Structure formats: structure tokens, C-alpha cells
A = this chain, B = another copy of it.
Amino acid sequence: MKNRLKVCRAENNLSQADLADRIGVSRQTINSIETSRYVPSTILALKLAHVFQKPVEALFELDETD
């Protein structure tokens, strides 16, 4: 699964730590999602989409491996 978190963070001028605080997870969780070390839960995806005011599909996209 691809993600656009890093770009969205840049657009909103948020650090990984900022974003983590906003949605109540650790900084490493954000980093791990960004670097595709693991796939977030749907709750996290919805929270991230809410922060960036975009649909989940604008943040996460299935790829061939999924």
C-alpha cells in the first residue's frame, strides 16, 4: 500500500511528532506508517484523513502487492 503522509505533512507543515500528538499515537507509529513498515488500522487512517481534511483514498492507495 502506498501512502502520501509525508507530502501531506509537508503541505500542512507538521512534523511527525506533531501529527502523532494530534491523533494520539507515538512518533514511531507515524514514521513506521510513512516508511511502510506497517499498515495502520482503519481508525488511524480515518483520523489521519480527518486531520488533513481529505478522504482516506487521498492518503492511502492499494498497490499490486495488496
Which residue numbers of A lie inside 8 Å of B, CB to CB?
Answer: 1, 39-47, 49-50, 55-57, 60-62, 66
Q: Contact: B43 with A66, CB < 8 Å?
A: yes
* Bound: A53/B65 CA distance, A: 20
Q: A55 to nearest B CB, angstroms?
A: 5
Give the complex CA separation of A6 and B10 in angstroms: 38
A44 nearest in chain B by CB position: B42
**What's the minimum C-beta distance from A28 to chain B, rounded to whole angstroms?**
18
**Complex interface: chain B residues within 8 A of A46 (CB):** 1, 56-57, 60-62, 66
Given A47-B62, A62-B47, A1–B56 Cβ distance below 8 Å?
no
Interface pair A57/B60, CB less than 8 Å apart: no
